[in-house]
């Protein structure tokens, strides 16, 4: 006579930290969802992965004409096209991964209501899947540097840290917004508008030196609380070498990103017990 073990899964109350052991047990599901996102994104498209190049390159061309030629925005002494593209590589990742992470729970309602698995897997899936587009866009950045005859500086060794900070920032905000979006659907509609505001608030089309010139050093430090600002300026410094490494922005941004990620994880874990009910 066979015996069966009954496992009862009950939601946990209160504030909970991330259960890394549980996530590790579901790593196969994580891998499957990431691979699915990568394949589905370009399935039945004519250009395929070329879209990962077209988006930032097209934005670079528009910015170069509008801000570089017409508005004469300073570019730290480097050609404006590569000045803007070096910022667009991390920014495009941040914007697209954040948008998909925000909408992820709402887009996977069927999974939420039918089977148990760590809910954190869903908003984290686009965070990893979009690294493929990031890698492709980064290769184009290398080709542009060759075209303009620009060699990376020794600070290029800090790029892995800047990429990790970029991912941490995106994941932290993504956990916050995805948990809010499934309960308040307005968040899903507002995310496109919010990312546009965040782009112009980031030093994508203008240099951070303008903050210091117009508002002083204190304003620059306060601006560092926006983590993606330090990431973008760090990319430009490490790859183009036009300005010193912005350690003040990077260190303040690291503290801010860690705080966002920790609070986002706590809020997500607190709210995940009701996801299936409000979905």
pTM of the model: 0.90
Question: Please, is 129 exposed, middle or buried when counting C-beta atoms within 10 Å of its C-beta (0-12, 13-18, 19+)?
Answer: buried
Cα 101 from Cα 61, distance rounded (Å):
28
Output the six-digit token pair for 112.
């939420």
Kindly state the greatest CA–CA separation across the chain: 82
For residues 84 and 63, the answer to whether their CB atoms sit within 8 Å is yes
**Which stretches of the chain are DSSP H helices?**
20-25, 27-42, 51-63, 80-107, 109-114, 121-129, 131-148, 159-183, 186-201, 209-215, 217-223, 227-240, 247-271, 275-278
| 97 inside domain | yes
Q: Specify if 109 maps to a domain.
A: yes
Residue 17 lies in a domain: no
The confidence score (pLDDT) of residue 222 equals 95
Cβ atoms of 48 and 131 within 8 Å: the answer is: no
> Does a structural domain hold residue 168?
yes
Whether 93 is in a domain gets the answer yes
pLDDT the model gives residue 1: 54
Asked if residue 118 is part of any domain, the answer here is yes
Report the b/e string of 72-90 with b at 16+ CB within 10 A: ebebbebbbbbbbbbbbbb
Residues 128, 218: contact at Cβ < 8 Å?
A: no
**Structural domain containing residue 67:** 24-267
Residue found under tokens 């698995």: 117
Domain count, the chain: 1
Does residue 46 sit within a domain?
yes
Q: Which residues contact 278 (CB under 8 A, 6 or more apart)?
A: 182, 183
**Tens-digit pLDDT string for the chain (279 aa):** 555 565 555 555 555 667 778 888 888 888 888 988 888 776 666 566 677 788 888 899 999 999 988 888 988 889 999 999 999 999 999 999 999 999 998 888 888 777 777 889 999 999 999 999 999 999 999 999 999 999 999 999 999 999 999 999 999 999 999 999 988 888 888 998 899 899 989 999 999 999 999 999 999 999 999 999 999 999 999 999 988 999 999 999 999 999 999 999 999 988 888 776 665
Residue 18 domain flag: no
Instruction: Check residue 8 and give its pLDDT.
Output: 54
């Amino acid at each position: 006579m066979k015996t069966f073990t009954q496992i009862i899964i009950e939601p946990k109350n209160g504030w909970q930290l991330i259960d890394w052991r549980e996530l590790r047990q579901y790593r196969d599901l994580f891998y499957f969802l990431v691979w699915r996102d990568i394949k589905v994104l370009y399935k039945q498209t004519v250009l395929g992965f070329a879209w990962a190049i077209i988006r930032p390159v097209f934005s670079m061309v528009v910015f170069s004409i509008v801000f570089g030629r017409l508005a004469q925005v300073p570019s730290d002494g480097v050609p404006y096209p590569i000045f803007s593209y070096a910022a667009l590589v991390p920014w495009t990742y941040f914007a697209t991964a954040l948008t998909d992470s925000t909408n992820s729970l709402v887009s996977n309602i069927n999974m939420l209501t039918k089977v148990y698995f760590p809910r954190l897997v869903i908003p984290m899936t686009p965070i990893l899947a979009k690294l493929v587009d990031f890698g492709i866009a980064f290769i184009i950045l290398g080709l542009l540097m060759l075209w303009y005859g620009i060699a990376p500086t020794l600070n290029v060794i800090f790029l892995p840290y800047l990429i990790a900070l970029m991912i941490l920032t995106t994941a932290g905000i993504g956990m916050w917004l995805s948990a809010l979006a499934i309960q308040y659907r307005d968040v899903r509609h507002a995310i496109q508008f919010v990312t546009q505001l965040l782009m112009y608030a980031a030093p994508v089309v203008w240099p951070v030196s303008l903050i210091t010139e117009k508002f002083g050093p204190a304003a620059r430090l306060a601006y560092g609380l926006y983590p993606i600002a330090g990431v973008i300026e760090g990319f430009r410094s490490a790859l183009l070498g036009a300005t010193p490494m912005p350690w003040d922005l990077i260190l303040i941004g690291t503290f801010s990103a860690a705080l966002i990620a920790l609070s986002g994880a706590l809020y997500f874990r607190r709210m995940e017990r009701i996801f299936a009910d409000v979905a």
